[in-house]
Structure 1
Amino acid sequence: MNTTARFSTEVLRNRLLDEIVGERVAGLYDPRVEEAMRTVPRHEFLPAVSVETAYANQSVSIKDNPAEDALPFSCASKPDVVFFMLVQLQLEPGHRVFEIGAGTGVNAAYMRHLVGSSGLVVTGDFDGEVTACARKTLDATGFRDVEVITRDGALGAEELAPFDRIIATVGVWDPSPAMQNQLTPGGRLVLPLRWRGLTRSVAFTRQPERLLSDSVKMCGFLPMIGQDGEHAGYVDDAHLIRLFWDDDQAIHPPALKTAVSQQGTVVWNEASVEPVESFDGVWLRLSATEPATCRITVKPAAIDAGLRRPAAPALSPALVDGDSIAYLTLERMPVEEGTEPRFRLGAVGYGPQGHGLAERLCTQIMACSGDRTAEPVISLYPAGTPDYELTDGYVIEKPSARMVISY
């Protein structure tokens, strides 16, 4: 690489980190993580794209999925998400860390930089093509001492355990026993945890009887291969309205076809948001109170045909009960000239029970209006833990864990 090219990549990399540090999308910061990401050459782990793309704050697909409306099989995560998840992980020199989801290898390189020569980084992936690529890029960039293994990440790496830290860079619906048991006492586990159609990066500390969260941040990740507890289905024949729900929920999207073809009922309340203000807290509170919580995705053609626009058409919270549905919506409020616009929040219901579902959704809008940044506390207990040993909160059953959400 010549001097001009080296200078340009350094400028682009530093510009990206300046943006990430300045915005702090999750409100988290660690100078050691910043230094690692300013040092490791991300573009060398993404040789198939331009350096401008490599240093843009966006995810990069590295293995596509040809199926309809499907996510890629593998991608390099958004740099700002990588940043705050590494902050959540709290790596120190000498730590032993296992990564589930090898990707391009760049995250393992960041972690190797953080744990130093006395630490150990192991990264694994289900896909042999992905691990081969990660091995190649890590070798080419001087990180030959990172261990790369090909296996189901849910199994962990028992031969190298225990680990001080475990991190997943794929969406995890069912936290496996290995994720819980291969941690040292007091060790940290960071997962893009999936439930009720949403994904949040949750940082846990291992306690004697459970894993206890201390950080829950918005993120988006590809789902982990081999975990089949999540379902998706279309409401309509044109495949414009899609629902996402969990295995323990009795949701049948085609049962809603008649309801969404008719006039909906809108319920408003006094809560409102600014244009860039998050309403993520509504979804989190719904998941902690309403067993009917799921996700709705709506394409523009459905809105053009008369369906009321969800608050975020690509992913909004919804409640479903049999042949009825309600989901979060919003509308711009009248404002005086020169003032910032605001949007009031509400819910639109369809079907015989749609109005009641919309009112229930609005109850949770009001519940979180006092503090929209409040994070729930999430506890993970091993499957089979008796009820009397659980902390207070709403329980979601997973095959390998009992998940308790509380506020």
Structure 2
Amino acid sequence: MADVATESDRVDELREQLVDKLHELEALRTEAVERAIRAVPRHLFLPEESVEDAYAAQRALVTKRDEHGIALSSVSAARIQAFMLEQAEIRPGMRVLEVGSGGLNAAYLAELAGESGEVTTVDIDPDVTARAERLLGDTGYSRVRVVLADAEEGVAAHAPFDRILITVGTWDIPPAWVEQLSDGGRLVVPLRMRGLTRSVVFQREEGRLVSRGCEVCGFVPMQGAGAHQEQLLLVNGTAEIGLRFDDGLPAEPGLLDNAVRTPRAETWTGVIVGRWESYEMLQLYLATVLPDFCIMAVDPDLDTGLVSPRHKGFAMAAVDKANFAYVTTRRTPDDKSAEFGVHAFGPDGPAFAETVADHVRAWDREQRGGPGPEISVYPAATPDDQLPELSIGRVINKVHCRVVLSWPTAAPAAEN
């Protein structure tokens, strides 16, 4: 009995530490979500993990891998779960659909929707749904409906839904999700746009979806009909330097074959960010204004130092015909901040480096500290003249929808 009491005390202590950390990270914002986090026994949904890992605020825990070790299913970090629950604004009595099962998040949804609400969770993997059903039953949440299906078609039998939460990385938004969302309902989705994933909260308005905010996140990718693979371009004939494109390769990728044989051009922007300052809006801005935006990664086992991004696994990059460039940073002399710079290769490398640097400066001057873009989603058949006029923006065409990023034209007061 003493061991049981000690374990219970330890769980209570870790739960309180988690709640405190989530407040510190500004992931918890309302009493309703805090009550849900406190109520659900998080460790019982992660029986393979230690209680310390189960209550870690920023650690995602993989629950299934394929034969190559690639994660197929995971329990998201508590921070991501908390802010997505906050984005959803679930109230008692609502009908909620979760795409991507695991059990834990569905339990949080059940707490928020209450006894008068309905929660349905759907997944394509029978191992995942079996696990979710078992864990939900064991922890007193058997009222959650677990469905085995490809979520591309939603779950029409239990629609409409007041809230739909997607907990897998999503490249597209299929029509069923919009059609099964009630008027004024909310869709929270980790949407991949030009290689960048953001948890976007959308409100349904007159046949379209309009964003009400977004947060940086990461998820295992969608399986089934909604799966979408990035395309990889190797710029020097080996796997050392790879450029990942989300919406198709450049028109003439072969033009880059000799780019790395040219001298590396370097320019520095004068744009300074604090050491712990987030600049995810710069990522979205460059993805909007640079036509062939991509993500550069360097294989650490093959790295010759030809390129030197600050983070070898992820660097904002772009291509312009026979030139490519990437954004990097360098520490300021006091080591308290960093300055953005651009490195470029190709016959017009110096000019392309300046072009990208000018976009970084424009973000700093006109968008930094502002609200970021409005993200709206229209059916794929929507003609151009029915989309909003864009001063600073981009239309991203997908299979089922057209995603529109529109940035404000008025310059906010910069927060440097």
Q: Give the alignment's TM-score, normalised by structure 1.
A: 0.92
Correspondence 1:153 to 2:151: yes
> What does residue 339 of structure 2 align with?
344
1:197 is aligned, of 195, 198, 217, to 195
Other structure's SS at 1:239 match: coil
- Aligned residue number for residue 410 of structure 2: none
Q: Assess, with a 3 A threshold, how the Cα gap between structure 1 residues 37 and 405 changes in structure 2: closer, same or farther.
A: same
Counterpart-to-counterpart distance in 1, 2:11 and 2:261: 52
Alpha-carbon distance in structure 1 between the residues aligned to 2:207 and 2:51:
46
| 1:29-48 residue CA offsets vs partner (Å, 9 max, x unmatched) | 12211110111011100111
Matched residue count: 397
Greater shift, 286-295 or 200-209, is seen at 286-295
> 1:179-204, CA deviations, whole angstroms, 9 ceiling, x for partnerless residues?
11110010000000002111000000
Determine the structure 1 residue equivalent to 2:48. Answer: 48
1:363 corresponds in structure 2 to 358
- Provide the rounded CA distance (Å) in 1 between the counterparts of 2:31 and 2:251: 45
Deviation digits for residues 229-271 of structure 1 (CA, Å, limit 9, x no counterpart): 4324252565333322123443787764543355311121110
The aligned amino acid for 1:277 is: E
What residue number does 2:173 align with? Answer: 175
Partner of residue 373 from structure 2, selected from 371, 376, 380? 376
The aligned counterpart of 1:392 is 389
Identify the residue that residue 245 of structure 1 maps to in structure 2. 245
Partners of 1:230 and 1:245 within 8 A in 2: no
Q: Which amino acid aligns with 2:73?
A: S
- CA-atom RMSD, angstroms? 2.0
CA distance change for structure 1 residues 52 and 240 in 2, over 3 Å: closer, same or farther?
Answer: farther
Determine helix, strand or coil for the equivalent of 1:2: helix
Q: Is the 8 Å Cα contact of residues 269 and 346 (structure 1) preserved in structure 2?
A: yes
TM-aligned CA distance change 1:251 to 1:77, over 3 Å: farther
Is the alpha carbon distance of 1:128 and 1:171 closer, same or farther for their aligned partners in structure 2, counting shifts above 3 Å?
same
User: What SS is found at the alignment partner of 1:172?
Assistant: coil
Deviation at 1:307, TM superposition (A): 2.7
1:216–1:357 Cα change, 3 Å = farther
Q: What's the CA shift string for 1:346-379, capped at 9, x where partnerless? A: 1111122433332232122112214434321000
Kept in 2: contact 1:173–1:230 (CA 8 A): no
CA distance in 2: counterparts of 1:357 and 1:180, whole angstroms = 40
CA contact (8 A) 2:239 2:302 kept: no
Structure 1 residue 53 displacement after superposition: 1.1
Quick one: percent identity of the two aligned structures? 39
Secondary structure of 2:347 counterpart? coil
- For 1:211 and 1:7, locate their aligned partners in 2 and report how far apart those are by CA, in whole Å: 45
Indicate how the Cα distance of structure 1 residues 164 and 89 shifts in structure 2: closer, same or farther if over 3 A, else same.
same
Q: 1:237 to 1:248 in 2, by over 3 A?
A: closer
Q: Distance in 2 between matches of 1:245 and 1:18?
A: 39
Query: Is 1:59 matched with 2:60?
Result: yes
**Shift of residue 23 of structure 1?**
1.9
Following the alignment from structure 2 to structure 1, what is the Cα–Cα distance between the partners of residues 263 and 71?
36
188-197 or 220-229, which deviates more:
220-229
1:46–1:240 CA distance, 2 compared to 1 (3 A): farther
Matched to 1:107, the amino acid is N
**2:97 matched to which residue of 1?**
98
Alpha-carbon contact 1:230-1:244 (below 8 Å) kept: no
Structure 1 unmatched ranges of 5 or more:
none
What secondary structure sits across from 2:132 in the alignment? Answer: helix
Could you tell me whether the CA contact under 8 Å between 1:378 and 1:404 is conserved in 2? yes
Tell me if structure 1 keeps the 8 A contact 2:168–2:220.
Answer: yes
- Equivalent position amino acid for 2:339 in 1: R
Alpha-carbon deviation of 1:322? 4.1
* Partner Cα distance (2:152, 2:308) in 1: 38
Q: Hey, what's the Cα distance between the residues in 2 that align with 1:251 and 1:133?
A: 45
Q: Which residue of 2 aligns with 1:292?
A: 292
Q: TM-score, normalised by structure 2?
A: 0.90
